Structure 1
Amino acid sequence: MRDDDPVTLTACPDGPLIVRGPATFLDEDGEPIDQPRRTVALCRCGASAIKPWCDGTHKLTGFTTDHHDPGDATASRPSTARQ
């Protein structure tokens, strides 16, 4: 893979974001994060022990991604109904 190859980002259903290509990752201070390989999986569930990388914990926690119509603005808001 060359440095001028495109970077692609793929959202896995109920799982991580897969980043392929020569991407640069920065920490909260703007410092580069060493990445283990050219294709990495980024945690979306928040439970990984090796953040920002995915360690598969999303399978144990039951993490799911929203499977709603992106045009439906009400689907992304939490319910305000009281029981």
Structure 2
Amino acid sequence: MVMIPDGWSGDDKRIAKVFKFFAFAEALAFMVEVGLYCERVDHHPEWKNIYNRVWVELTTHDAGRVTGQDLALAAHMDAVFSRGR
């Protein structure tokens, strides 16, 4: 069983979170910074942005479940979000 990080929801198959920002520019900056990290580690989220919100779902498709890669990406996202607060 996966330990779901604080502030995230989900199960062994996927974890999810909505990040809410003050404005679109902050949401976009978050996605750019996280996106560049994702390219470096070759692990990519399922996400969408509408104005000041970014919806994220993480899973490792090849494994069919949440793995350490997803948990590491979730921790990185939380750190980037916290820095901007």
User: Same fold by TM-score, threshold 0.5 exceeded?
Assistant: no
Larger-gyration structure (1/2): 1
- In the superposition, the TM-score normalised over structure 2's length comes to 0.30
TM (norm. structure 1) is 0.30
Higher helix fraction (1 or 2): 2
Higher relative contact order (CA 8 A, sep 6+): 2
